[in-house]
Amino acid sequence: MGELSTQGHSAKQPYAVLALFAGAVAIATAAPFVKVSEAGPVSTAFWRVFLALPFLWAWMLAESRPAAAPANAARERRLMTLAGLFFAGDLAVWHWSIVLTSVAAATLLANLAPIFVTLAVWLLFRQRPTLPFTCGLAVGITGVALLVGADVRLSGMALLGDVLGVITAMFYAAYQLTVTRLRSTTATSRIMAWSSLVMAAALLPIALVSGEQFLPVTAAGWAKVTALALIAQVAGQSLIAYAMAHLPPRLSSVGLLLQPVMAALFAWALLGETLGAFQIVGGIMVLVGIRIAHQAESGKSAKVAQAAGFKTE
């Protein structure tokens, strides 16, 4: 199999890391918004994407960048469609997970995506992680487990919510890998505009046939889904898509572990979900794990940079 593109992994990496962290904070607001939404879980996902479309398309048209060359057009359409479908699956499943279990547990399990990214890159590209990166990943994952471990309950509807959280992680890992490949040749604005159109088209029929509440019923309800669209979808996902153009996929995946830290803080501040001592320690470990992984990637020599942070077997 071919290697993942490393274009821009060095010169723009500091800006990409900042964009990644800002995007992680923005998307961390999504779970509290979903928890208090007046619409059903899948309907909330649809409104999140649909209300973001005018802004994303305006951004794409304002850039006025040329489309892909005819030779690459089919590949670009295929990847953008896949990205949209993967993220539609991510949102639909994750929003149900949030409703069925706690914000913290749903966010933890959704952020197990680094494990699936690592497995996919290893199996598909025959590239294994370096030891320092693996240590950073282990510290980060352990920290996330401590952060929300008390919320992962193994009974009743919460168990179903936890299972859906794991499935969410699989969808999100597929989305991350797809966007990483796509961003080697395609502008962020184009990815966000077209993939979000695919998301909306996929989510609408699911929301309509599910029998759940489709429309928010009050002005406050509309304000919530609008804020979700602008903060999480327009700002958050666009920043993350930009970062993925300039960072190795596993570094992007580990960096996004900042999301459950912020989601837990937002849930504590807005929804009254308290944080214990173990959870605070877990949050610190997540940040330490991100730092270790970042140093492992940034410190690689130019000689091995083409491997994008992996040892080729």
Answer yes or no: is 271 within a domain. yes
* Overall average pLDDT of the 239-246 stretch: 82
What residue type is assigned to position 226 of the chain?
T
252 in Cβ contact with 244 (< 8 Å): yes
Answer yes or no: is 7 within a domain. no
Answer yes or no: is 38 within a domain. yes
What is the widest separation between alpha-carbon atoms in the chain? 58
**pLDDT tens-place string over residues 209-222:** 999 999 999 999 99
Answer yes or no: is 256 within a domain. yes
Answer yes or no: is 175 within a domain. yes
Q: pLDDT higher for 297 or 109?
A: 109
Report pLDDT for 246.
Answer: 80
3: left (phi over 0), alpha (psi -120 to 50) or beta: beta
**pLDDT tens-place string over residues 40-61:** 999 999 999 999 999 999 988 9
Q: Is a pLDDT exceeding 60 seen at residue 31?
A: yes
Tally the domains of the chain.
1
Report pLDDT for 8.
Answer: 44
pTM recorded for the entire structure: 0.79
What percentage of the chain carries pLDDT values higher than 70? 84
Tell me how many helices (H) and strands (E) the chain has.
16, 2
Q: Give me the domain span that covers residue 98.
A: 13-312
Report how far residue 199's alpha carbon sits from residue 84's, in angstroms, rounded to the nearest whole number.
5
Answer yes or no: is 296 within a domain. yes
For 196, residues 6+ apart whose C-beta sits below 8 A from its C-beta are: 49, 52, 53, 56, 84, 233
Q: Is a pLDDT exceeding 70 seen at residue 184?
A: yes
Answer yes or no: is 5 within a domain. no
Answer yes or no: is 130 within a domain. yes
